[in-house]
Amino acid sequence: MVQGRCECGKVRFEAPSVRETVTVCHCSQCRRTSGHLWASTHAPFKELSFFESEGLEWYASSSFAKRGFCKFCGSSLFYRMNDEEGIGIAAGCLESPTGLRIGKHIFVSGKGDYYAIGDDAPQIETF
């Protein structure tokens, strides 16, 4: 079982398992909403169970996706395509040890100019 939460604890959840890899997105929207870059794993949405969801809010960040965050502490937690059965879960909100590893970087053409990508995972210019 994998557990995660926001900083203040007003969103707490678990899932039986998550994808073993993390996708790192460098697009400008992910950088703005997360404060740096968005690193997430993935799970079927129907397998998420919430212990606490008082803080969970959804922001329609585009016509095709929404982002879940805690309205109390501001933690960026989820990314979900409107027509997808799965959900992206912020790797940083999961309890350690996660056993996760970076699988790929996406939208590297939009990465910030203040950092370098320092691993050998595949780098995809867009998606």
Predicted confidence (pLDDT) at residue 127 exceeds the cutoff of 80: no
Express each pLDDT in 95-124 by its tens digit: 999 999 999 999 999 999 999 999 999 999
Query: Residues 63-67: what's their mean pLDDT?
Result: 94
Whether the per-residue pLDDT at 1 is higher than 70: the answer is yes
Give me the percent of the chain exceeding a pLDDT of 70.
99
Structure tokens at 14: 């678990």
**Class of 2-110 in CATH:** mainly beta
pLDDT for 126 equals 82
Tokens matching residue 113: 């100019």
**Domain spans, the chain:** 2-110
Q: Is-contact 16 3, C-beta < 8 A?
A: no
What is the pLDDT averaged over residues 84-102?
Answer: 95
- Calculate mean pLDDT across residues 87-93: 97
Q: How far is CA 86 from CA 14, 81, 126, in A?
A: 14, 8, 21
Q: What is the pTM of this model?
A: 0.93
- Report pLDDT for 105: 97
Q: List pLDDT tens digits, range 31-60.
A: 999 999 999 999 999 999 999 999 999 999
Q: What is the mean pLDDT of residues 17-23?
A: 96
